[in-house]
Amino acid sequence: MTIPSQTYKPLARWLHWSMALLVLAMIPVGFLMVREGLPRGLQNNLFISHKNLGVLLLVMIVIRIIYRLRTPPPPKPAHLPAWQRQVATLTHVLLYALLFVMPVAGYVRVRAGGFPIEALDAIGLPTLVPKSDVLAGIAKSVHFYGAWAIAIIVALHIAAAVQHAVIKRDGVMSRMWPR
Ligand code: HEM
């Protein structure tokens, strides 16, 4: 059964899928790069990719939040039970929050620890936080627990999307799918 529903606007879809690809790379790269025993060159490259793509994600989530506030999404499909709409709303709010908190915590962890962020250094953007072991430690903990939270919520989000697309086939996926 396909129930016609309003779709997300092209910019919302573009932001969703490009950020999804980046986040799906960031999570495994993050968990991999902190493992002991990795070859030094590989570890450096993973750290450099993670830090710089993470900053790109921070810029993208700020754009996305502003866009979302100015351009409300289509209403949740009316055929979904109320509890599913509430869970979807909660998941989306948590994802927005974590997609903001994670890059900020990563940025603070790196800068307060006195480390470079190559893309920002190349354009001459100065460090926005003071060097501080205490601050770096707090940001590291936030980033660590946030990593598990975002991994779990992304997994639930994907499971729900796949269920709608493959099992229910109720048109929910086509609201966000690229045209
Ligand atoms: C949405 C964006 C981000 C996601 C999903 C993400 C994800 C992760 C994950 C899964 C880990 C492994 C956690 C652990 O076991 O310690 C990690 C570690 C790390 N991330 Fe990110 N990250 C993001 C953004 C950033 C940014 C913007 C930076 C820096 C500019 C950054 C810097 C780091 C660093 C330095 C570590 C190692 C932490 C440590 O052990 O000191 N991350 N990240």
pLDDT tens, 114-131? 999 999 999 999 999 999
Helix and strand numbers (H, E) in the chain are 5, 0
Is 34's C-beta closer than 6 angstroms to any atom of ligand 1? yes
Is there an atom of ligand 1 within 6 Å of 50 CB? yes
pLDDT digit string (tens) for 131-172? Answer: 999 999 999 999 999 999 999 999 999 999 999 999 999 999
Instruction: Please choose from 107, 138, 143, 153 the residue to mutate so as to test ligand 1's pocket, defined by most ligand atoms within 8 A of CB.
Output: 143
Average pLDDT value for residue range 44-58: 98
The CATH code belonging to domain 10-175 is 1.20.950
Q: Write out the two tokens for 61.
A: 């989530």
Tokens of 35: 């493992």
Contacts from 176-179 at CB under 8 Å and sequence distance 24+? Answer: 176/7, 176/8, 176/12, 176/13, 176/16, 177/13, 178/13, 178/14, 178/17, 179/10, 179/13
At 3 the pLDDT is 41
Looking at residue 6, its pLDDT comes to 82
Total residues found in the chain within this entry? 179
Q: Which of 50, 56, 121 most suits a substitution to test ligand 1, by most atoms within 8 Å of the C-beta?
A: 50
Nearest ligand 1 atom to the CA of 150 is 5
- The pLDDT of residue 90 is above 70: yes
Looking at residue 34, its pLDDT comes to 98
Each domain of the chain, given as residue ranges in start order, spans: 10-175
| Mean pLDDT on 21-50 | 98
pLDDT value at position 110?
A: 98
Give the model confidence (pLDDT) of 12-35 as tens digits.
Answer: 999 999 999 999 999 999 999 999
Question: What per-residue confidence (pLDDT) applies to 4?
Answer: 42
Helices 133-162 + 82-112 axis angle, to 10:
150
- At residue 69, does pLDDT exceed 80? yes
Nearest residue to 99 via CA among 7, 28, 24: 24
Tell me if residue 134 falls in helix, strand or coil: helix
